[in-house]
Structure 1
Amino acid sequence: MMGYKGTTAFLFYFVSFWLCDFGVCEVKKGWPGPWEKYIRAPENKRRIEPRKIWKTEGDVQVRTDDGKELVIIKEGAWVTWEFDENISGRACLIVEDTPGGLTEVNLAYSESYLFAGPIPDATTDRQARDLPLPLRIPKQKGKVCVGKEFVRGAFKYFTVHLPSSDHQENSPQTWLQSVWQTSQKTLFGTKPHKKKKQIAISSVWVNCTSFPSQGNNGRAAYTGYFSSSSHLLNQIWYAGAYTLQLGTIDPREGGALIDYNRIVDHNDSPTGSWYSNFTISGGTSVTTDGAKRDRMVWPGDMFIAIPSIAVSTSDYLSIRNALEIIFTNQYPDGRLPYAGPPMGVTANREFSDTYHLHTLLGVHSYVLWSGDLPFLDKIWPQYLFALHHSLSLVDDLSLVHVTSTADWLRPGMTGHNLEASALLHTVLSRSATLATWLGHTTPPIWPSTQKTLETGLARLYCPELGLFSDNIGARSCYPSKDQGYAPILPQDGNSWLLISRANLTPSGLPFRSPKSRFRSPTPLPNGPPTRGGISKLLRGRWVKHGAPCPEFPNTISPFASGFELLGHVYSGEVDTAVELMLLEWGWLVNGDGFNNGSTLAEGYRIDGDVQYPAYPSRARNSLAHGWASGPTWVLTQWVLGVEITKPGGEEVEVKVWRVRTRGGSGKGLVWEIRAEGGTKGTVMGYKVKGEERGVFLLREGEDGERVERLGLGVVRVVGEDEESWYKNVVVEYQGEEWVFDETWKEPEMEEREQGAVDWDVMERYFKTPVPEGWDISWLKEGRDM
């Protein structure tokens, strides 16, 4: 059907709503169509086989024996298999023979081809690469799998390596062995003959353990669909959805950060080792930060991840378990942990002012989409306690005074902060909505604090630059006498300012910091701040591979850029948001070193390299990180135009940007609704006349009833075809016809300069310190490790 602002994109969305009992919402798969080819999830997650041998090194033979393909690997050699998609789970082999007395092989995993081979990529943060995983091989032939504690979170490349036994020459021996070898050398002048070890493997597969609450068929788990005339937008939507599936795990399979786990489980696992057996929440399924590492509950993901899960798989059970573990470990002063166990359960009491607020936003998103009001009622006292803590941080400068440095690994998170203040403004609006859903009144302090924050936020405006600075102080446009002029105009904070819908120009404000000796120029060079102006200036900073975040030098972050997407759409600039998706997420899908678009990465370097600048090791970047899934939500709610306005879909609003009748551009959608009582109907078409809105019923439900409470009318449809129905359907309504518009073209992307890496700043801001004696010259030279 018709797309946004005259696009020809056909946009399709299906979702079913039921009451959520005991935290579990029943869902139902939609109907098949051309969009299914974009789904990346496996059809049978219990047995995922590689598509090919990607690379071999050393003495390796591949032959067919009795109709069975055998891969024979000899000492010192290795084989790497490549899977169709980034996957996760327990690796298994069928071993046919082990000549030479082989008892063990080494396994290695990698999400990117850049790190594929006998040394794994990285999950831990104490060295550049993980240790290979030893796998004991029994004497008898047959199946052998890694232990349940060694589920690998995400990988596309899997390697079996037989290390050379030469290093065992000096290993401890019995006295008899030593005498025998010495006598052979003396008598015959040669080393004793020793048969080389080898292994013959007839099959390799992975038992995927991700998305445990969604069944064995990951494709059938989809309750939401998206399809458009843009191949790249389709790829991006489904890559986000599948990323969230891989990051949804059995709570007993958390872990990988063994140093943190040690605080609780007292493990003695060596540096560079890893495992996935730490229990991170209650229940049977939980959504986490990333698939490969950070397999924990991280509240920072929730604002983006929860709606993206809702529009794709509706896995509300996993969301609820994630929220519950954070509130279960709420600190005595009302603060919420920075992350779930092992963080937040020890005397360390890790805390982030911003992630604390993200948890509260997560509650709103979960209740809005799931309709789980009993959960909200249960935690409401804790919610208010947590909100009160943030309110107490608003001081006489009318801003949130941040004392925690923790955020999304970006530096500079202290002081009177823009991002935290705009976040609190947003939380207060959504808290008022939550209170209404529970039948409570809004405390007067909430709207009054929002007005106070607007006064403070205005003090961070930089008139010469047209954007808002990070905080009052060294990163401000109004430095103190002992500070140089080096303003930081953050991507996250300015985006959140747009999302918050705060009043950008409260009356009578000087637009200057009260701590500064400088005064604002008159008139203001860029005029007073406007949403459209901020959106335009953010767009003007884009480079070849996406939107840089000045608050974290050298970095392009799909997390912060997810906020920017939302900032643009909240400002009415939907075209700008779509253009950013094509630019930045297009690189995540097609860029070198990622994984061919099956999942979305945590971040990358400003020059497009796969390294995430928070870590010295390029191999540590997570290529399946839920916080990167923003387009999945944004495409559904702002481009397709389906917005849930009351819990559980009791009320739905459909929005468009431009509509015309037959022969011109327009907006259309298909949407199946299940309302209370089982009434079903399919909606197609939408039009706007001034402020008037109308939604049309294409087909009535099986019982012939119309879903009157959702405001549906009746239409007549002609020319429907099963294969290309979205092109052939004509919807007639009150003398007007609705048709598929084929005139839309993707925007022509501007030629932008590639971002340049500031290596001095890069090394200064590594959040994980470079270990002593670790040579990182390979980073600057662009060499692979």
Structure 2
Amino acid sequence: MVMRKKLRLRIVSAKASARRDTTAESLTLNLCCSEHDEAHPLCLSSELLLLGFFLFLSRMRRHPVSVVTDSACDPVKITNNNSSMRHSILFLLLLSLYSCSAKAPSGPWDNYNLAPAQRSILPQSVYETGGDVVGAVKVLQGGQVTLSGDAWVVLDFGKEVGGIVSFHFGSVATSAALSMSYTESPYFVSRNNSDSSKGGNGEDGVWSVQPQPSSFYTVPSVRQRGGFRYLTLSISSGQLSLYNLTLYSTWSPHFSDLRGYSGYFHSSDDLLNRIWYSGAYTVQLCSVPGQTGRPWPPPAQGDNWKYDGDLGTDGPVLVDAPKRDRTAWLGDLGISLATAVYTTGDLVSSRNAIDSVFDRQQDNGMFNYCGPPWNLGPSSDTYHMWALVAYAAQYNYEGDLEWAKKSWKKYVKGLEMVIQRIDDTGLFLVVNTNDWMRPNTRGHHLGANVLFYRALRSGATMATDIGDSALATRWNDIATSVRSKVNEKLWVEESGMYKDSDVSDVLPQDGNSLAVIFDVATFAQKRSISAYLRSRWNIYGALNPECPGKMSPFITGFEVMAHYSAGHGKYAQDLIKLHWGYLLTAGWSTRSTFVEGILEDGTPNYSPFDFLSQSHGWSTGPTPALSQWALGLQMEKAGKMWQWLPTGDVQTLEGGLEMATGNFSVQISRQDAMTMTAQLTVPLNTSGSVGLVGLYDVITVDGQSPQTSFVDGRTVFNLTEGGVYSIKTRRHVDSCAESVYPVTFSLRSDDDVTLSAFHPLVLSSPSCLYYLTVQLDGNVVVYNEQRKAVWQNGGKKGGVTVKMSVYGDVVEEDVNGERVWDNGSAYKGVGPFALQLGDTAELSVVDNRGQVIWTNS
């Protein structure tokens, strides 16, 4: 039988008079709080939603509100004296009603969703037992387990979980004492210690309980465990039994339906589906109640972990991870914010995270490295930039102009502070060198200046919306100058990459990836960077020489997006499956969420292994990347404007998301490498554009051929109205999948086709591994995909075009049509002739009989 207690809550509204005395008004509501069912211990039920409604009414009356309980049933203290009630957890329960209405349609994708149907969950299996244990498997159905003498049982919840454990004690021998320990990884299952989360001052240890016979026990909220998969229960002597063991999930507290995602994704690739939903689940776990941060300094030696840090708001906050640090790091939002948008649609947690940092801006304009309770101070120029970028991203996705105005002066102050630090190089000089973990962000640093450029462009957009066109113009002008100086001073032509800074020749993964994503690089540079980054993978993922020995899912997420942005969808897909496929299946992982980082040899010693976070929001880059690029759904101005940029070769895809303007969805089917059909659904009163990689013989939209142009490797056209569109395409036969430019595979003497330095056509090898082009300096060059020259004719004589002549020679001419070079193969075969480029970089002239009459090898 379910035991219940009465929970009496008094809602007190105080209205201040001119003399600052108060007149109290109160409403009293009686709720039933279950001791172990789905409502316990936070009583998150329909009745409490009604309570939220009362709080909403109080907010409308502009009265401060506090919630008090006269029962210990609720282990979480909820108070709020802010007249706006903006951050009240209970008020946010009202928003959960909206989250229910925004639920994505049902489909096969639901099978990949890792979120539980109810907040109270049971363990899924018994991982291990030791000593005298009776009835261990019964715990999985709420039954009784008995431990006698020196005994333990390890319960496996089947995936990363987090929250408050409750159970009933049955019989208890006088000498028995229960120890509880937690771990994310099976490598740290122990009856004597939990994995590490405190951040100093000794081990986490175990949570000790002095059991009372026939009693109910709930772990105190401050001692809940935010992230774990394995729970160990042990005694060293005596005997005890317990039953009805449940875990109450405390994450994403403002959602009434944890499975009620507003976004969804499904494809013909099972691994991609699993990765997408594991990323979604990871970020869900990173939304935590506002009074449950990890304190700093850490608990004293001998004390256990604690979650009583004030995150700066009572509302949910998007933190870095549920186990640790449980703190808002706005650099992490460079990934996790977009993950939330495309999955749960949760913009509340990210807004609170951003506010918590903006509200504590330093007098000189700098933002702290992270939010409260840590408040590590203004020690990172890159994370200062990320704070600006996150603020603009939140506005772009949410479209709340009033919110943007609230801290607009802080944004301006923060950006103008950086502008004042531009020196005679035209770039921003890094002074505060902390970053995501990498060392040496010194000098005129690539990553910092790329983020600076992004903050300027995004800030200019917000300035326009706010009504300050002069400021928008000024920031855009500065952005143009910064972009130019980055390319002038940091681009290394020989490598086809940017260097890390003016004091480091390292070719970094982070700065180069960001330069591609944020459009500091030209399209040709993007392709070059993508190819070079591809060459640095090992069997576990992408290397980053700026942080030697380590492999960062955070930065690799940006690399995935860079490959997509460069039109290399296959590279992006391969990297997702290579790196995140490993992270999802490694024996040391939770096999449900994504780890903070690993070493380049695949071992999880990114930080001390037991301290490592196995559920880190910054590691979820593939989730938004697959939605933005594989599905192709990219949002601007809260969905009022959009782009559809499907990239890659996944055979079938379906997915969507909800924005303030309505629902976006797409279904894609590729019959073969050349043909695609799609149904694109976009809300009314929106407009957008379509960009398809490569050249096409056929593009129809609802049976009609749109007017197209070719821009940066994509065939582009506009859709000026919302609606449901049926789109069919057939790629041009002589078109490399996702090539840089339009290509031909054969330069023939009987076709009027010419390669020109002034036009983007190139000669490609069959597998698009090599390209022949004419440079403006007159050189005819064969490049590999790393944009390195593997052959050239040594021209530099003013040549601008190359053609295959009717006499069988390859001819280069200048702007006047005068021959400046030929290969000497005239009159050596029977025409017509063809110039071909092989997959081993050899150039050949073949005559009509199939005879090779010339080769450059």
Q: 1:674 to 1:426 in 2, by over 3 A?
A: closer
Alignment of 1:352 onto 2:380 = yes
Alignment of 1:314 onto 2:305 = no
Confirm or deny: 8 A CA contact 2:677 2:727 kept in the other structure: no
Aligned to 1:415, the other structure's residue is in SS state coil
Alignment of 1:218 onto 2:258 = yes
State the match for 2:501 in structure 1. 471
1:243 corresponds, among 277, 282, 292, to 282
Alignment of 1:397 onto 2:387 = no
**2-structure distance, mates of 1:644, 1:229:** 24
Confirm or deny: 8 A CA contact 2:342 2:657 kept in the other structure: no
Alignment of 1:230 onto 2:273 = no
Confirm or deny: 8 A CA contact 1:213 1:315 kept in the other structure: no
Structure 1, unmatched stretches of 5+, are 1-20, 165-195, 263-267, 477-487, 506-528, 660-664, 688-692, 701-705, 717-730, 739-743, 745-785
Q: 1:63 to 1:393 in 2, by over 3 A?
A: closer
Confirm or deny: 8 A CA contact 2:268 2:651 kept in the other structure: no
**2-structure distance, mates of 1:673, 1:331:** 36
**2-structure distance, mates of 1:431, 1:735:** 35
* Cα displacement string for residues 98-128 of structure 1 (whole angstroms, at most 9, x for unaligned residues): 11332x3221101111111212111123378
Alignment of 1:177-576 (within 5 A): 196-215=237-256, 217-220=257-260, 222-255=261-294, 258=295, 260-261=296-297, 269-270=300-301, 273-344=304-375, 349-441=377-469, 442-473=472-503, 475-476=504-505, 488-503=506-521, 530-576=525-571
* Cα displacement string for residues 491-545 of structure 1 (whole angstroms, at most 9, x for unaligned residues): 111111212312569xxxxxxxxxxxxxxxxxxxxxxx82211111111000110
One-letter amino acid of the counterpart of residue 543, structure 2: P
**1-structure distance, mates of 2:216, 2:274:** 36
State the match for 1:158 in structure 2. 231
Aligned to 2:538, the other structure's residue is in SS state coil
Q: Quick one: higher RCO (CA 8 Å, sep 6+), 1 or 2? A: 1
Alignment of 1:622 onto 2:652 = no
1:710 shift after superposition? 4.6
**2-structure distance, mates of 1:407, 1:38:** 34
**2-structure distance, mates of 1:355, 1:733:** 41
Task: Tell me the TM-score normalised to structure 2 length.
Answer: 0.65
Confirm or deny: 8 A CA contact 1:428 1:447 kept in the other structure: no
1:350 shift after superposition? 4.0
1:655 corresponds, among 645, 648, 660, to 645
**1-structure distance, mates of 2:726, 2:579:** 42
Alignment of 1:707 onto 2:684 = yes
**2-structure distance, mates of 1:298, 1:736:** 43
**2-structure distance, mates of 1:468, 1:681:** 36
1:85 shift after superposition? 1.5
Q: 1:686 to 1:160 in 2, by over 3 A?
A: closer
1:71 shift after superposition? 2.0
1:73 corresponds, among 147, 150, 153, to 147
Structure 1 range deviating more: 59-68 or 196-205: 59-68
Aligned to 2:368, the other structure's residue is in SS state coil
**2-structure distance, mates of 1:625, 1:89:** 16
RMSD: 3.4
**1-structure distance, mates of 2:651, 2:220:** 55
State the match for 1:144 in structure 2. 217
One-letter amino acid of the counterpart of residue 635, structure 1: L
1:272 shift after superposition? 6.3
* Cα displacement string for residues 163-182 of structure 1 (whole angstroms, at most 9, x for unaligned residues): x4xxxxxxxxxxxxxxxxxx
1:34 shift after superposition? 0.6
Aligned to 1:425, the other structure's residue is in SS state helix
Alignment of 1:603 onto 2:597 = yes
Aligned to 1:158, the other structure's residue is in SS state strand
**2-structure distance, mates of 1:384, 1:128:** 43
* Cα displacement string for residues 670-723 of structure 1 (whole angstroms, at most 9, x for unaligned residues): 6587886x8x89765799xxxxx999677x9xxxxx93655899969xxxxxxx
Structure 2, unmatched stretches of 5+, are 1-84, 671-675, 690-699, 704-722, 731-736, 738-857
One-letter amino acid of the counterpart of residue 653, structure 1: Q
1:403 shift after superposition? 1.3
**1-structure distance, mates of 2:453, 2:430:** 15
State the match for 2:183 in structure 1. 110
Confirm or deny: 8 A CA contact 2:446 2:486 kept in the other structure: no
**1-structure distance, mates of 2:222, 2:337:** 28
Alignment of 1:634 onto 2:674 = no
Confirm or deny: 8 A CA contact 1:351 1:404 kept in the other structure: yes
**1-structure distance, mates of 2:188, 2:228:** 11
Confirm or deny: 8 A CA contact 2:115 2:281 kept in the other structure: yes
1:655 shift after superposition? 2.4
State the match for 2:572 in structure 1. 577
* Cα displacement string for residues 630-651 of structure 1 (whole angstroms, at most 9, x for unaligned residues): 1111110111011112x22122
State the match for 1:184 in structure 2. none
State the match for 1:178 in structure 2. none
Confirm or deny: 8 A CA contact 2:336 2:618 kept in the other structure: yes
**1-structure distance, mates of 2:677, 2:625:** 22
Confirm or deny: 8 A CA contact 2:680 2:727 kept in the other structure: no
1:124 corresponds, among 194, 198, 203, to 198
1:445 shift after superposition? 4.7
Q: 1:735 to 1:44 in 2, by over 3 A?
A: closer
